[in-house]
Amino acid sequence: MTTLPSEALPRSAHGVTRVYLIRHGQTDWNAEGRYQGHIDSALSTLGREQAARLAVALAAVPFRAIYSSPLSRARDTAAAIAAPHGLPVRPLDRLREVAMGEWEGLTSEEITARFGDILRARRRDPERITPGGGETLAELRARGIQVIGEMVARHPGETIAAVAHGGLNKTILLAVLDAPLSRYWAIRQDNGAINVLEFDAKVARVALLNETAHLEAPAPPRMKTGETPAAQVRCTPRRPPE
């Protein structure tokens, strides 16, 4: 079992830096159970609706910057969130999803048929079992913590968003929770989910995990011409307990 030294986690020297770590909306490949990895895939109709709901739910959050994986499913989700704030989306390559090697583009059924033994072993031991040509969870976590650290250093005491992917998000969350990568399957990351990480001079913490209430609320009213989601609804995610 590999562990991450606590001193490797980022710290904010000036106040609390909050990172809204968000998973992109649904894609057609998500709905089909197809492994995406580094392959680019577009948001589905539902995924675009989820992105719009995220924009409404986060319209009142005082973001200073919006970062995203360069893959279009994350970038387009980030663009919807950024629009009410008038902010550009800043793509960062290290926010892209875990590389799944020879499994990318295949459905779960196809992987079971061709690589069943490896798939079953990975479900038992995700930390040590990796698809051929893929990225290990330790490698994924290392680049995730590195890019989060750079964002925190760039925005001390500010609030930012990072739109990424299920696999990457889970390894970052496990690191902040000081949990081993063997617990990878113990965390859910639904499409359109919100996590909130807080970093101060002493500690890193998870303040919110896999929040999806905004996806279950009634659909936002149809916008008038020229109106943004921020003009329609002011909604701030509930404050987590201290």
- Residues annotated as catalytic are 24, 97
Report which residue type is found at 62: P
State CA 113 to chain mean position distance.
29
* Cα gap 135→234, rounded to integer Å: 40
Integer Cα distance of 217 and 213 in angstroms: 7
- Sequence-ordered strand ranges (E) for the chain: 17-23, 63-68, 89-91, 159-164, 194-199, 204-211
The pair of three-digit structure tokens given for residue 155, joined into one six-digit string? 């925005």
Phi, psi of 68 (to 5 degrees): -155, 150
Task: Output the CA angle 144-148-150, nearest 5 degrees.
Answer: 120
Q: Is 16 helix (H, G, I), strand (E, B) or coil?
A: coil
